[in-house]
Amino acid sequence: SRDKQSLWQAIQSITDYKPLPQACDDETALPDAVNHFYSRFEMQNDTPAQKLPTPPNDQVFCLSPAD
């Protein structure tokens, strides 16, 4: 792959090829959508947390300091 890169650089040098500078998009829809998506985690949540009952067959894993 190094030879391909050297070849391309040589062609660019011989032909005096200069790529056009890349411009940034002025569109703000994507950043706004991303901000909206992640901001939902920071919204006020007034729903109290509820502990669900454990199923009868479920074994609870407990550790003691001696373990």
pLDDT band at 67, cuts 50/70/90? low
pLDDT of residue 65: 87
In this structure, what token pair is assigned to residue 57? 């067959």
Question: At 14, is the pLDDT very low, low, confident or very high (cuts 50, 70, 90)?
Answer: very high
Give the tens place of pLDDT for each residue, 27-62: 778 888 888 888 887 778 788 889 888 888 888 788
Q: pTM (2 decimals)?
A: 0.30
Contacts of 18 (CB under 8 A, 6+ apart): none
CA distance 24 to 26: 6
Instruction: Enumerate residues 6+ apart whose C-beta is below 8 A from 54.
Output: 60
